[in-house]
Structure 1
Amino acid sequence: MRSRTQIFVKSSTNSQETLIVDPTHSQTQTLTLSDLKSSLLSRDQPLSSFYFTLNGKILNDSIPLFDNPQIAPLSTLYLRQRVLGGGGDGGATGAESRDCYLKMYAEKKPDKIDPNEVRLSKWLNCALSNEPLREPCVIDKLGNIFNKEVLVQALLSKSLPRGFGYIRGLKDLVNVKLTKVPGEEDDGGYHAKFQCPITGFEFNGKYKFFALRTCGHVLSAKALKEVKSSSCLVCHEEFSELDRIVINGSEEEVALLRERMEGEKVKVKDKKVKRVKNDEVGIGKEEGLDSEKVSGMKRGVVETNGVEKKILGKVENVKRLKAGDMAPPNANKSSVYASIFTSSKKSDLKETYMCRSLPLGRN
């Protein structure tokens, strides 16, 4: 014999009612939620304005109350009232067109990016391959940090992106020495693996770090500020203010590093030009030439008495040939010019304006 089923009903007024259902009764077996709703509400309240929910899900009014797998014994049904739309509630007012809704759902909004993840990715991953940082590591003159193996492969295959076009070779990079966090294993997790050897600050972007070009050690800005010294705090190698490169700096700091890099390129070009000029002046003195005459000539070439000598590289003596060198002795300009169009030897053969006459037997 079946026992009675007990169900709790709770309305918006927080009043809880208990409904006891007798499954043996014939009318109870066909009882639906619509019947339960009509028994709980007054005649003044429309049934369509109310609905039942169970565990946050809306129940259909046609669901039977008894022998239903969705409604277990001792379940709590919530009787809620529908809010009628009248504008301003987020519903449709009838003024919108169908295209408005299609555009609203067709335009995909960009996913929100967590700034913390962006910061961690910049400090924990290689700037080129976005792989986790693994020693050996290098930085460029703008403070970007890379896995050395990945960057060398990109340089050899000439597949370096245009954004890193200022990196021409290993001379544009600085080998850095990172200090690992004690007890930290390289498991590829998304957490800091390196730290400052002086303060213990983690290499995760929350603190500013500098790399020293002289020795390659990476130290936090706080360590360099607290211990005022012109030598590295780890290896005691001397460095200057220009030897400090901020890692993953702000836009203003990167702009200063870029200006410094461009200034270094100009200095290198000036040194090369001065070296070439000094070599030219030295060769000019050896040959007994004026320095102004040498510097005004073609680069790397000195001309002395019709002889061309190369300053840089192997010296070769090359004599320049002139038209006057092939002229016969005691010849003037008119005779040399006439010899171009006429035979140098006089003969009895007649010549026309078309061609010279040939001897008999050859025409």
Structure 2
Amino acid sequence: MEFRRKKLQIVVRSPDLGLPARCLTLAPDLTLRRLKLAFLPGILLRQPLAFESLYFDLGGRPLTDSSTLTDAGIAAGSSAVLTLRLRLRGGGGDGGATGAESRDCYLNMYAIKKPDKVDPNETRLSKWTTCALSGEPLAPPVVVDRLGNLFNKEALVEALIHKNIPKEFSHIRGLKDMIPIHLSLNPGAANSETRFECPITGLEFNGKYGFLVLRGCGHVLSVKALKEVKSSACLVCHKEFSESDKLVINGSTEEVAVLRERMEEERSKLKERKEKKASAHLSGTKHAGDEHDRILDNGRKVGGAKRFKAMDMVPANATKEVYASIFTSSKKSNFKETFSCRSLPLGRN
């Protein structure tokens, strides 16, 4: 009985945190700090700043965490209500809140898990070892677009057929925008982070070093190899190339901008050539028609060239009229020709 008389019936609530009110039977010497530890959810207990920002008050009077229930003035048999409140810091320069933020926002700052940071090394390696469209590891046949992005040819062709190319690769319109490339296998690929390397310098194809593809032959070489060996021919197949044949793979923003400008210029020139060819074709047809119209009825052109006549090529020992009937009506008459037969006069068919 003595034990029961020492116990206190207390209601603990926290409207600031949205926690349900609880009726507890507690010992008079229990500190408010221990009560706070028992009342709060585990997620707030793991945040020291949030824990220290909470305090109890009794009838509007704030209480310290080191106070016991007896120190707070709670007597046995009284109906005490302890309220757990959130202390808002402010004033500027102390790292606290200004009071403008909602309390829910403050609590969610600790409750919501922040997304994991992406390792830049993994992002870089993925860009050089996987297909930019499917995300699968690069496997021959491999192609590169005019902006230096790497693709597995099968995945890119399938996307073109089904017309589901992402917006970022909308510049790829057909097979002409794909450049087949030859990647040199790395003999020590088992102990390396990439399967491919430069065939001249042995530098790994992993994004740590710059690489170029020669559009004429498709061989992939490191920038270092082309700098050290001054040559206008491919160092692998010895095919001649020009400066415009060099295409940077996975270049910087500035390098991609240069490649895009070059691509638009090439497309513009191709369009002009097609328009000139179509214009020349149309003008040639019209000229031929004009020449035909200039032929006179007497078999001569305005320019003086004689028109071809079958009678001029009569074989030896052949009758001219019989030979001419092969190409024209067998006999001229005053009768009108019909649609069905030129040789029969009107009224006889």
TM-score (normalised: structure 1): 0.52
2:270 counterpart residue number: 268
SS at match of 1:175: strand
Question: Any residues of structure 2 matched to 1:182-331 within 5 Å, and which?
Answer: 182-184=187-189, 191-288=193-290
SS at match of 2:189: coil
Q: Name which of 91, 104, 108 aligns with 1:103.
A: 108
* Structure 1 alignment gaps of length 5 or more: 1-47, 49-84, 290-363
- CA–CA separation in structure 1 for the residues paired with 2:156 and 2:256: 20
Question: Any residues of structure 2 matched to 1:66-81 within 5 Å, and which?
Answer: none
2:181 counterpart residue number: 176
Superposed CA offset, 1:43-66 (max 9, x none): xxxxx9xxxxxxxxxxxxxxxxxx
> How much does 1:252 deviate?
0.5
> How much does 1:190 deviate?
8.2
> How much does 1:207 deviate?
0.3
SS at match of 1:138: strand
2:53 counterpart residue number: 92
> How much does 1:162 deviate?
1.8
111 and 89 in structure 1: CA distance in 2 versus 1, 3 angstrom threshold? closer
1:167 equivalent to 2:169? Answer no
Aligned-residue CA RMSD (Å): 2.4
Q: Name which of 131, 134, 142 aligns with 2:147.
A: 142
183 and 89 in structure 1: CA distance in 2 versus 1, 3 angstrom threshold? closer
- CA–CA separation in structure 1 for the residues paired with 2:107 and 2:50: 20
1:28 counterpart residue number: none
- Look up the equivalent residue of 2:210 and give its one-letter code: K
> How much does 1:183 deviate?
4.1
- CA–CA separation in structure 2 for the residues paired with 1:235 and 1:190: 26
Superposed CA offset, 1:60-84 (max 9, x none): xxxxxxxxxxxxxxxxxxxxxxxxx
> How much does 1:110 deviate?
2.9
> How much does 1:284 deviate?
2.7
- CA–CA separation in structure 1 for the residues paired with 2:184 and 2:104: 59
> How much does 1:89 deviate?
12
2:295 counterpart residue number: none
- CA–CA separation in structure 1 for the residues paired with 2:51 and 2:201: 55
Q: After the TM superposition, list the runs of 4 or more consecutive aligned residues in structure 1 that deviate by more than 3 angstroms.
A: 88-91
90 and 252 in structure 1: CA distance in 2 versus 1, 3 angstrom threshold? farther
1:12 counterpart residue number: none
- CA–CA separation in structure 1 for the residues paired with 2:210 and 2:257: 17
TM-score (normalised: structure 2): 0.54
Question: Any residues of structure 2 matched to 1:42-61 within 5 Å, and which?
Answer: none
- Look up the equivalent residue of 1:224 and give its one-letter code: L
1:127 counterpart residue number: 132
> How much does 1:99 deviate?
2.7
> How much does 1:152 deviate?
1.4
> How much does 1:184 deviate?
2.7
- Look up the equivalent residue of 1:266 and give its one-letter code: S
How many corresponding residue pairs? Answer: 201
2:57 counterpart residue number: none
SS at match of 1:288: helix
- CA–CA separation in structure 1 for the residues paired with 2:192 and 2:137: 9
- CA–CA separation in structure 2 for the residues paired with 1:183 and 1:196: 13
- Look up the equivalent residue of 2:165 and give its one-letter code: L
* Structure 2 alignment gaps of length 5 or more: 1-30, 32-47, 55-86, 90-101, 292-349
Superposed CA offset, 1:148-172 (max 9, x none): 1111111122222122111121111
Superposed CA offset, 1:168-200 (max 9, x none): 211110000000001435xxx981110000000
1:316 counterpart residue number: none
2:36 counterpart residue number: none
Question: Any residues of structure 2 matched to 1:7-22 within 5 Å, and which?
Answer: none
- CA–CA separation in structure 2 for the residues paired with 1:205 and 1:159: 28
99 and 139 in structure 1: CA distance in 2 versus 1, 3 angstrom threshold? same
SS at match of 1:171: helix
SS at match of 2:151: strand
- CA–CA separation in structure 1 for the residues paired with 2:229 and 2:51: 61
- CA–CA separation in structure 2 for the residues paired with 1:99 and 1:182: 58
- Look up the equivalent residue of 2:229 and give its one-letter code: V
Superposed CA offset, 1:205-260 (max 9, x none): 00000011100000000111111111100000111111111000000000110011
Superposed CA offset, 1:315-347 (max 9, x none): xxxxxxxxxxxxxxxxxxxxxxxxxxxxxxxxx
